Structures are given as structure tokens and as C-alpha cells.
Amino acid sequence: MGSNKGPAFITKVTQSIVKALRVTWKLHCVYRPQSSGQVERMNRTLKETLTKLKLETGENWVSLLPFALLRARCTPYIKGLTPFEIMFGRPPPLLPHLREEELARLSTQNLLKSLQALQSSATSAQWVVRILREEDAPRSSPTQPAFSPGDLIWVKRHDPGSLEPIWGGPYQVGLSTPTTIKVTGKRHWIHRTQVKKANDSVEGWRVQKTRDQLKVRFTRCSS
């Protein structure tokens, strides 16, 4: 038998009956994968990535979906493996390995070889960083940042719209306690786990003229 992990299926009474009848019950979704917890978590990751890409580029989410899928499939998870590696048993070939006759046709052979060497070095460095983090994890303990009146913070939204940022603000801290924060513009107190500190610098865009009178250049700047 197979089902999702609903409260009616994971109760002790139900599981005891299943165990007594020697029924093999797998708590997952067989005929409705869209309601699986792992599928819902991946959909959430895709929506967060699409939101960031849409805010940065302003493009349509349909054209940005391949980039979000590429990032999700090539991102290592808890075990240090990407979904691509789990499926195909090898790292994703982000840079192609071309033959000698194909390399001869390219005008940027040195750049391609440099990128291939950089990818190999980055893969080796990921394993070293992972080992160091596992060694330092028991010794380090998470600490909450300190908030003082006048600081700028971001407040988490519990009901964001489609492809909208999860964090709202920034808001200015009015009062602060060890567990809650009061910000200007909101009547209720907010728990410390629902906020994060905003950067002191304010990002903006700078317009620069070019030699072509019909073109301008936009650069990101912070003040």
C-alpha cells in the first residue's frame, strides 16, 4: 500500500494495525506526485529562484524557467550530491569536452580549456570545504544577531503573492527585546526568527552615457 504522510495514516493506531497485518505500507504519493513533500519543496525552490531572477532581469518567468531548472539540478544538497549526479551517476557536464578536430575550429580554445580546468578545481574544492564544515559544525553554535533601535531589518511575509519577494521592508527597529522586535509601521510585535538585518548600504542604479547616443549603460552601485 502507498499513501501520503497525512495525520490519518501516520497515527500509532493505524501503523499498529498495519504492522499486525504485515502490510507493506510506503508513506509517499504513488498516483499523485504533485502532492509529495519533496515535490512541493522543489517547487518552492523553483519559485524562489524565479522570483530572484525576475527581480534582477525583469524578464518573463517562462524564459527564465530553464535557468532556474539548471540551478536546481546542479545544486548539491545534504549528501553533497546534485540531482543530476543522483540520476546519471556523474557530475553535470556544464562545460563540453570536445575532440581535437572540434577544438581546432574554435577561436577561444584557451578560454575553453581554462574553464574546464576551473570546473575541475571547483569540484575538488567543494569536497574540501564540505569536510571542513563537518569538522567545525560540532564546535560552532548558532548565534542570533543583535538588533538595536534604529537598525533596518527585513520582515518575512507569510502570504506573499506569486513571484513576489518573501521579505518585506526594510523597516526601522523601534523597540527590541531578547525574543521580539517592534518596528515602525506595524502594530504587532515580531519574533526574532521572522526578521533579518538589512545591509547598511543602499543599492541603486547609475546611468552612464556611451559613445553611441542611442545607448546608455546601467551599473549597480551602493551608497
Chain segment 71-118, per-residue pLDDT in tens:
998 888 777 788 888 888 777 777 666 666 766 676 666 766 777 777
Alpha-carbon span 202 to 223, nearest angstrom: 5
198 contact partners, CB below 8 Å, separation of at least 6? 151, 152, 153, 154, 169, 170
Between 189 and 8, the more confident residue is: 189
The answer to whether residues 43 and 163 touch, using CB atoms and an 8 Å cutoff, is: no
**CATH architecture for the domain at 145-223:** Roll (2.30)
Residue 46 pLDDT class (50, 70, 90 cuts):
very high
Instruction: Cite the DSSP H helix spans in 21-82.
Output: 37-57, 61-73
Q: Which of 12-16, 208-212, 219-223 has the lowest mean pLDDT?
A: 219-223
The answer to whether residues 153 and 183 touch, using CB atoms and an 8 Å cutoff, is: yes
pLDDT tens per residue across span 153-184:
999 988 877 778 888 888 889 888 878 889 98
Domain boundaries, the chain: 2-35, 94-141, 145-223
